[in-house]
Structure 1
Amino acid sequence: MTIPPDFPRDAAAVHESTDRLLVSLGKLDDAAVGEPSLLPGWTRGHVLAHLARNADALVNLLTWARTGVRTPMYASTAVRDGDIERDADRPLAVHLEDLQESAARFGAAAQALPADRRAYEVEMRNGVVERADRLALRRLAEVELHHVDLGVGYTVEQLSPAFVDSELDFLTGIKFAGHPDLPALELHGDDGRQWHTGRSADGASAAPVVVSGSPKDLVGWLTGRADGGRLDTHGAALPVIPPL
C-alpha cells in the first residue's frame, strides 16, 4: 500500500536525519574529507558539497511552490557540477557550517510552505515533475543514502523503517514503474508485503522475477547501496538495476 506524503512529518524526519549525519561527520577530520567515498569518482568532500547544494536547490523548488514563480533547482547542470567541484576540498569545519546553514534554510522554506500549496507541481532536475509535498521525502532520500555513501559506518541496516517504507514506495511506484530497462519484478518483503515494478508483465511478457528479502535489503539493492547478495531470487538471476 502506498504511503501518502505527510509534509510536516517528512520535514521533521529530514531534520532528524541531518542530525544523525552531523554526528557522524563530527568523528572525521580534514584528511578524511579528502578520502574516497563509496561513490565512484567522488571524495567525501564531493558528497558533502552536493548535500549542501541540494538543500538549497530544494529551497528553490519550495519557493517556486509557495510563490508560483518559476525557480529552477539549479541554474544549469554545469553550474551544479561546478559548485560541487569548487567546494569539495574545503576543510571539515567549513563543510559542517555549510551543511548546518543549508539545512536551516531548507527547514525554514518547508515551514513557510502553506498547506494549500503542497499539491503544487514543480519541475525538478532533468524535467521530472514533482508535487511540493513530496520534496521533503526527496531531501530525506538524499541525506539518508548519501550518509551511507560517505563510508563512515552508517549502513543500509541503519536506515529508519519509515524511510525504507517511503523509499520502497517511491522506487517501485514511481522511479522504476514501467522502466523499459528493468524486467517485471515482484518484490516480497519478509514481513509479508509485496511490491510490483519494472516492465509490465502482461500476457505477452514473461512472468515477473520474484525477489524476496527484508525491506532494507530491497532498498539497498534498488538504490545501488548493496549488491543484493542476501536477497532470494528463487533460482533466477538477480536483475541489474538501472542507474538512479
Structure 2
Amino acid sequence: MTDNVPDSTPGFAQDTASVREATDRLLVDVGKLDDEAIGEPSLLPDWTRGHLLAHVARNADALVNLLTWARTGIRTPMYASAEARNADIAEGADRPLAVHLDDLRSSAERFDAAAAALPPTRRQYELEMRNGVLERAARLPFRRLTEVELHRIDLGVGYGIEQLPTAFVDAALAFLTGKKFAGHVDVPAVELRTPDGRRWRTGRTEHTGRVTEDAGDVPYLVVSGAPAELVGWLTGRAKGTGLDTRGGPLPALPPL
C-alpha cells in the first residue's frame, strides 16, 4: 500500500465540502417527514425509509473507519462483518424521526472530522472497502458523496436524477465508466455519448454484436443522452427512457 507520498488527486477538499452541502440538503428533506413516513417503503427493494437512513448513517461511520486506517496505518475494516452491517441497519430502521436526524447529523460530523484529520501525505494510501474493492483514501469523500446523493433519490421524497448537481454527475460518469464498470464481465461494451460531444467507453471489451450506424467499426453499443439520464441508468435510479440506442433495447446492468 502506498504510504506517505504527496497527494496528487485533486478534489479531496472540494468533495468533502460537497458532502457537507449534500448532507445538509438531505437533512432538510428528511426533516419534512414524520414517524409514520419513516416506516414507509423507500425506492429500494425491501427497505423502508428507516432502513435507508440507518444505512446512510452507518456508511459514514464505516468510512470513518477507513479514514482512520489511512491516517494511522492500522487496518480497520469498514464493517466488522456483513452480518454486523445488516444487523445494524435492521436494528436502526424503526427509530423515531428525531433519532434518525440526530444520528445522521452526528455521523456526518464524525466523517467530516476524520476527513479533516487525514494528512495530504496519506491520501494516496490504498484501502480495502466492503466486498474487497480497493480504493485510495483520496477518493473516500467522493464515495460518501455518492452515497448521500443517490440515497436521497431513494428516499422517494421528490428528489430525482435531474436535480443532481452538474459537478457530481460529471464525476459520477467518470467513476462509473472507469473504476466501477470498466472491464466488468457483466457489463456489455458500451460507449456513452452526451449532446456536448463527450464520450465514455466501459464494460467488456469484446464485440457486442450490436453497433449503431454512426459508430463505424467501433465494437461498442452507443447509448446517447443527457449526462444525468446516463447516471440514472448506470446507477439503476432511472429506466433510461430518455436515452437513445438507435431503436434497440438498453442492455441490462448489474446493481451497484
Task: Give the TM-score range, shorter chain.
Answer: over 0.9
2-side partners of 1:202 and 1:112: how far apart? Answer: 47
Q: Give the fraction of aligned pairs with identical amino acids, expressed as a percent.
A: 68
Moved more, 74-83 or 192-201: 192-201
Alignment map for 1:204-219 (pairs within 5 Å): 207-219=219-231
1:201 to partner: Cα distance: 4.0
TM-score normalised according to structure 2 size: 0.92
1:90 aligned to 95, 98, 113, which one?
A: 95
Which residue pairs with 1:149 in the alignment? 154
* Counterpart secondary structure, 1:181: coil
* Counterpart secondary structure, 2:157: coil
2-side partners of 1:203 and 1:143: how far apart? Answer: 34
1:26-73, CA deviations, whole angstroms, 9 ceiling, x for partnerless residues?
Answer: 110000000000000000000000000000000000000000000000
2-side partners of 1:90 and 1:205: how far apart? Answer: 49
Return the letter of the residue paired with 1:116. Answer: T
2:163 aligned to 150, 158, 162, which one?
A: 158
Please say if 1:226 is aligned against 2:238. yes
1:39 aligned to 39, 44, 47, which one?
A: 44
2-side partners of 1:118 and 1:159: how far apart? Answer: 27
1:78-106, CA deviations, whole angstroms, 9 ceiling, x for partnerless residues?
Answer: 00000000000000000000000000000
Please say if 1:10 is aligned against 2:15. yes
Gaps of 5+ in 1: none
2-side partners of 1:92 and 1:203: how far apart? Answer: 48
Alignment map for 1:71-220 (pairs within 5 Å): 71-201=76-206, 207-220=219-232
* Alpha carbons of structure 1 residues 91 and 62: separation in structure 2 relative to 1, 3 Å: same
TM-score normalised according to structure 1 size: 0.96
1:8-28, CA deviations, whole angstroms, 9 ceiling, x for partnerless residues?
Answer: 000000000000000111110
1:221 to partner: Cα distance: 0.2
Return the letter of the residue paired with 1:230. Answer: G
* Count of matched residue positions in the alignment of Structure 1 and Structure 2: 241
1:122 to partner: Cα distance: 0.7
* Counterpart secondary structure, 2:222: strand
Alignment map for 1:15-34 (pairs within 5 Å): 15-34=20-39
1:179 to partner: Cα distance: 1.0
C-alpha contact (below 8 Å) 2:65/2:76 kept by paired residues: yes
* Alpha carbons of structure 1 residues 113 and 205: separation in structure 2 relative to 1, 3 Å: same
1:236 to partner: Cα distance: 2.3
C-alpha contact (below 8 Å) 2:189/2:208 kept by paired residues: no
Gaps of 5+ in 2: 1-8, 212-218
RMSD: 1.5
C-alpha contact (below 8 Å) 1:33/1:44 kept by paired residues: yes
Moved more, 203-212 or 123-132: 203-212
C-alpha contact (below 8 Å) 1:5/1:134 kept by paired residues: no
C-alpha contact (below 8 Å) 1:209/1:236 kept by paired residues: no
2:251 aligned to 229, 234, 239, which one?
A: 239
1:174 to partner: Cα distance: 1.0
2-side partners of 1:226 and 1:202: how far apart? Answer: 26
2-side partners of 1:205 and 1:75: how far apart? Answer: 44
* Counterpart secondary structure, 1:130: strand
Return the letter of the residue paired with 2:250. Answer: L
1:220 to partner: Cα distance: 0.1
Moved more, 29-38 or 177-186: 177-186
2-side partners of 1:135 and 1:5: how far apart? Answer: 13
Which residue pairs with 2:3 in the alignment? none
